[in-house]
A and B are shown apart, each in its own frame.
Chain A
Amino acid sequence: MRKPRLLLVDDEIPFAANLLKLLSRRGYEVSAVHDGSSALRIVEEQEFDVIILDQNMPGKDGITVLKELKKKWPHLEVVILTGYGSVDLALDGFELGAYDYTTKPIKLRDLEEKIGQAFRRKMLRV
C-alpha cells in the first residue's frame, strides 16, 4: 500500500517544519500550511489522504476549517492535533466527522499510527 499524502495545518512553524521533515523522511508525501485559509486553498489544488489539523490558528480555527473541509470533501480524513485539548473540542470534532482527536505533545510513532488508521479507513471508504 502506498504511503498516505498528508497535509499539516499548524501555525507553530517549528513544529510543522520538524514534522514535515520527519514524516517526509519516513516516506510520506507531506505538505504544510500555517493557517486555515491556506489549508482550504491547497486542498482545492492538491489531493490529500489525511489532514493533521491544529485547532488554535490565526484566522479560521481548526473546527471551522474541519467543517468546511468535510462539507466539500466528506471522504477526507482529519486528525485533530492540538495543544488546547478539551472535551468540548473533541466532541465538536467528532460531531463534524473528524477521524480522531489527540493532543500535543505526541510521539511520532503514535502519530504515525493514527495517520495509518485514518488512511486505512479512507481507503476502505474509497
Chain B
Amino acid sequence: MFGQTISGTQARVAAPDFHSRSYPKLLRRFVLGAVVCSVLPLLVVGWVSYLYYSQYSMSRMAAYFQRTVEYNRKIVESFLDERTSALKLVADTHSLEFLKDTSNLSQVFHILNGKGSNFTDLGVIGLAGKHLAYVGPYDLMDKDYSVTFWFKEVMSKGVYVSDAFMGYRETPHFVIAILCRQGGATWILRATIYQEFLSSLVETAGLGETGEVFLVNKEGVYQTSPRFKGKILDKAGFPMESFTGESGILSTDPIKHMDPIAPETGLISANLMKYGFMHASSQQIIAYSWLKHPQWLLVVKQDFSEVFGDINRVNTVVLVLLHSCVLAVLIVSVFTTGRMVKALKRRDRETEELNRQLMQASKLASIGELAAGVAHEINNPLAVILTENQVVLDLVETEEGLTREFKEQLALSLGQIDAQVERCSHITKNLLRFSRRIALPSRFVDLNVAVQDVVGLLEKQARSRGVQISVHFQENLPKIRGFDFELEQVFLNLIGNAIDAHEGKPYGSIQITTRRDSKRQGVVATVADTGSGISEQELARVFDPFFTTKPVGKGTGLGLSISYSIVRQMGGGMSVRSEVGKGTEFEVFLPCRDGDSVGPMETRRKESVKRLLAPPRGQRPTGLSGG
C-alpha cells in the first residue's frame, strides 16, 4: 500500500551494516571451494583411472594380437619345416635309381600325401634342369627348369622354399626343393604345394568381421589372398626393403598419432604406414611377424572399433557416469551452498535486528533515565507554583477593594498558570510513563476488545472530522499478556494520530485490522489511514521521543515513543510504512506468551497500580504525537 517501511528499531538506530557482506561473492567462493575439494579430485581420479584402464586394455589387446600372429607364424613355419623334412627324408633314404622309377616315385608321393602333406606333385630333376621322373597332374616331363630362379637357388643353397609363383601350370604355388648327392650322382627332389593351402592354414577365427591374416614376401607380394582387398601375387603396395626378422604391433588409432605401440617396429612398420597399407581412417590395429624360411611377413589386422568395441563401450559408460557424478556434485554443491548462504543471510538479518534492538534499548534506557530525572525535578516546582496560584486565588477572593476588572484579569491569568502547570504535569507524567522499564505483572488481554474500545471512544471525533473508521477483526484471536489500559493507550495514539493526519482533508478513512500471525506466534493489528503521509526523513524519526509534526502546543512528540515503549515491554514490535500524500500504515505485533494465570492478591495490587497509571478514560495522553 505504501512505499517506505520503517520498523520501530530501524527508525531510530544506526546499526552495524551486515548488508556490506557480499553474498554472491560468498556463494561463488563456497561453490569454488566445493569444486576444488570434490569435483576436481573426482575428475582427476576418474580420468586417471579411465586413461590407465584404457592403456591397460589396449596393451592387453595388443598382446593378444601379438600372440595371434606368433601362433599363425609358428603354424606356417611348422608346416613348411615338416614338408621340407619329409622331402629330405625321402632324398636321404632313397637312391636316385629308385626314385627315377616313376612307379616308385608315385608310391613315395602317395605315402607323403597320405600323411597329409598336401603336395601337388613330386619330381626328380637332373642337373640339366629336366625331369628324370615326375608324379602329378601336369605334363612337365619336357620342361627345362635350369633357367628358373628356384633351380638356381637350390643349386646354391641345397634346400629352398620358394615364394609363390605361377610357373608352367599357371596356378599360384610354391616349391620345396632339395639338392641330393648320393655316390657320384647329384639331383634335385622337388615338390610343389598350392598356395591356397597356405591361406587355409592361417587362422582367421576370432578375428571378427573385420580381421584378416595374410602373408607377404620381401618384395611386398601377397603370398596368400587377403580377406578383403587384393589377391595372391598382387603387390601389396609397399616395398619390403630388407628382411629384419622383427615382429611387432602397430596402431592407426588417431589418438596415438600413428605411433607404433611396440617400440621396436623398425623399417617395416614405417613402410606399412608410409605406403598406406594401414589407413588412419580405418583405425586398425596390426600385428606382424617375419618367417625365416622363406622370408615372408605374416600380418594380422583388425579394425580398432571391433577390437576395442567392448572396452570403448565400458569406457563410455565410465565417462558418462563420471561426468554425471561431477554434474550431480556441482548441482548439489550449488543448491546446498545457495541454501546455506540464504540461511546465513537470514541469520545476519536477525543478528542485525537484534543489535539494533539492543542499541535501541540502550538508547531508550538513557533517554528514559534523563526523562525521569527531568520529570521528577520539575514536579516539585510545579507543585509549588500550583499551590502559590491557589494562595493568590484565595487572597483575591477574600481581598476587598479590588476592582472588578482587576479581579477578572487576575482570575484569567491565574487560570492560565493553572492550565500551563496542568500541561507541564501531563508532560512529566508521560515522561515518567515512557521511562518506566519495569516489567509489570500482566494478565490476558483480548486485542480485539481493546481496539474496539478505543474505536468506540474516537469514532465520534473521527466522524466529525469527516474520517470513516472501518474495522476488520479476525475472530478468536489468541489472548496476549499485558495491560488493557496500556494497549488502549497504544491504539488511542495510533488512531488519534490517524485522525489528525487528515488535517486539511475534507474526508478520509482509517482501516483497522487484526489477525493472527502463526509464523511469529502472536497477533498483529494494523492502523492504515488515508492522511497526508510522512516524508522519508520524518519517518526515520517517527518513534523518537519529542519528535512531532504537529503545530507547537498540539503535541510533545511522546505519544508514539510511549506506544513503542509499551509494545516493546510486551515483547512485540512496531513498524510503519508511509507515502506522502497517500497515507500511513502502522503495524503492531504482539506475541502470545504462555504464563500462569493471575492470582487474586496480585490482581488487587495491579488494579491499584492501573488506577494510578491510567490516564482518564478516553483521554489521550497530553501531546501525543509523532505521526
Which residues of A come within 8 Å of B, CB atoms? 12, 14-15, 18-19, 21-22, 25, 82-88, 90-91, 94, 101-108
Offer 17 A-B interface pairs, CB within 8 angstroms, sorted by A. Answer: A15-B383, A15-B384, A18-B384, A18-B391, A85-B429, A86-B432, A87-B440, A87-B613, A90-B609, A90-B612, A94-B608, A102-B612, A104-B379, A104-B382, A105-B379, A107-B386, A108-B390
Q: Quick check: is B421 within 8 A (CB to CB) of the other chain?
A: yes
Q: Quick check: is B376 within 8 A (CB to CB) of the other chain?
A: yes
Nearest to A26 among chain B residues (CB) is B394
**Which residue in B386, B394, B609 is a CB contact (below 8 Å) of A106?**
B386
Which residues from chain A contact B432 at a C-beta distance below 8 Å? 85-86, 103
Which residues from chain B contact A87 at a C-beta distance below 8 Å? 436, 438, 440, 609, 612-613
Which residues from chain A contact B387 at a C-beta distance below 8 Å? 14-15, 18-19, 22, 108
Which residues from chain B contact A88 at a C-beta distance below 8 Å? 438
Closest CB of chain A to B376's CB: distance in Å?
Answer: 5
Which residues from chain A contact B424 at a C-beta distance below 8 Å? 105
B390 x A12 contact (CB < 8 A):
no
* A106-B383 contact, Cβ under 8 Å, with A14-B388, A22-B391, A22-B394: yes
**Which residue in A12, A21, A22, A101 is a CB contact (below 8 Å) of B383?**
A12
Closest CB of chain B to A9's CB: distance in Å?
Answer: 14
* A18-B429 contact, Cβ under 8 Å, with A12-B383, A83-B383: no
Q: Quick check: is B425 within 8 A (CB to CB) of the other chain?
A: yes
Which residues from chain A contact B377 at a C-beta distance below 8 Å? 83
A94 x B605 contact (CB < 8 A):
yes
Nearest to A95 among chain B residues (CB) is B605
A105 x B391 contact (CB < 8 A):
no
* A21-B613 contact, Cβ under 8 Å, with A14-B384, A91-B605, A104-B383: no
B390 x A105 contact (CB < 8 A):
no
Q: Quick check: is B476 within 8 A (CB to CB) of the other chain?
A: no
Which residues from chain A contact B321 at a C-beta distance below 8 Å? none
B609 x A91 contact (CB < 8 A):
yes
Q: Quick check: is B332 within 8 A (CB to CB) of the other chain?
A: no
**Which residue in A25, A94, A105 is a CB contact (below 8 Å) of B386?**
A105
Nearest to A88 among chain B residues (CB) is B438
Extra 10 A-B pairs, beta carbons < 8 Å, given A83-B376, A85-B379, A106-B386 = A15-B387, A18-B391, A21-B391, A85-B376, A94-B608, A102-B612, A103-B429, A104-B380, A107-B386, A108-B386
Q: Quick check: is B317 within 8 A (CB to CB) of the other chain?
A: no
CA distance A44 to B366 in the complex (A): 44
Which residues from chain A contact B429 at a C-beta distance below 8 Å? 85, 103
Give B407-435 interface residues, CB cut-off 8 Å to A: 418, 421, 424-425, 429, 432
Which residues from chain B contact A106 at a C-beta distance below 8 Å? 383, 386
Which residues from chain A contact B383 at a C-beta distance below 8 Å? 12, 15, 83, 104-106
Give B323-381 interface residues, CB cut-off 8 Å to A: 372, 376-380
Interface size of B as a range: 20 to 34
Nearest to A101 among chain B residues (CB) is B612
Contact with A along B595-623 (1 / 0, CB 8 A): 00000000001001100110000000000
Which residues from chain A contact B394 at a C-beta distance below 8 Å? 22, 25
CA distance A121 to B388 in the complex (A): 30
A12 x B609 contact (CB < 8 A):
no
**Which residue in B379, B391, B613 is a CB contact (below 8 Å) of A83?**
B379
A90 x B608 contact (CB < 8 A):
yes
Closest CB of chain B to A44's CB: distance in Å?
Answer: 28
Which residues from chain B contact A107 at a C-beta distance below 8 Å? 386, 418
**Which residue in B380, B425, B436, B612 is a CB contact (below 8 Å) of A15?**
B380
Q: Quick check: is B385 within 8 A (CB to CB) of the other chain?
A: yes
CA distance A106 to B380 in the complex (A): 10
A105 x B609 contact (CB < 8 A):
no
Which residues from chain B contact A104 at a C-beta distance below 8 Å? 379-380, 382-383
A22 x B390 contact (CB < 8 A):
yes
Which residues from chain A contact B372 at a C-beta distance below 8 Å? 86
Which residues from chain A contact B436 at a C-beta distance below 8 Å? 86-87
Nearest to A25 among chain B residues (CB) is B394
Which residues from chain A contact B425 at a C-beta distance below 8 Å? 105
Which residues from chain B contact A19 at a C-beta distance below 8 Å? 387
The residue among A14, A15, A104 with the most chain B CB atoms within 10 A of its own CB is: A104
CA distance A83 to B384 in the complex (A): 11
Nearest to A85 among chain B residues (CB) is B432
CA distance A100 to B292 in the complex (A): 133
Which residues from chain B contact A86 at a C-beta distance below 8 Å? 372, 432, 436
Closest CB of chain A to B98's CB: distance in Å?
Answer: 148
Closest CB of chain B to A58's CB: distance in Å?
Answer: 14
The 3 closest A-B pairs by CB, nearest first: A83-B379, A18-B387, A104-B383
Which residues from chain B contact A15 at a C-beta distance below 8 Å? 380, 383-384, 387
B612 x A105 contact (CB < 8 A):
no
Which residues from chain A contact B386 at a C-beta distance below 8 Å? 105-108
Which residues from chain A contact B378 at a C-beta distance below 8 Å? 83
Give B528-565 interface residues, CB cut-off 8 Å to A: none
A84 x B613 contact (CB < 8 A):
no
Closest CB of chain A to B3's CB: distance in Å?
Answer: 40
CA distance A25 to B395 in the complex (A): 11
Give B568-615 interface residues, CB cut-off 8 Å to A: 605, 608-609, 612-613
The residue among B380, B385, B424, B609 with the most chain A CB atoms within 10 A of its own CB is: B380
CA distance A22 to B440 in the complex (A): 37
Which residues from chain A contact B605 at a C-beta distance below 8 Å? 91, 94
A105 x B438 contact (CB < 8 A):
no
Nearest to B608 among chain A residues (CB) is A94
Closest CB of chain A to B442's CB: distance in Å?
Answer: 13
CA distance A10 to B377 in the complex (A): 15
* A84-B391 contact, Cβ under 8 Å, with A94-B605, A103-B429, A105-B386: no
CA distance A21 to B387 in the complex (A): 9
Nearest to A102 among chain B residues (CB) is B612
Closest CB of chain B to A51's CB: distance in Å?
Answer: 17
Which residues from chain B contact A94 at a C-beta distance below 8 Å? 605, 608
Closest CB of chain A to B605's CB: distance in Å?
Answer: 6
B390 x A83 contact (CB < 8 A):
no
CA distance A86 to B435 in the complex (A): 10
Nearest to B382 among chain A residues (CB) is A105
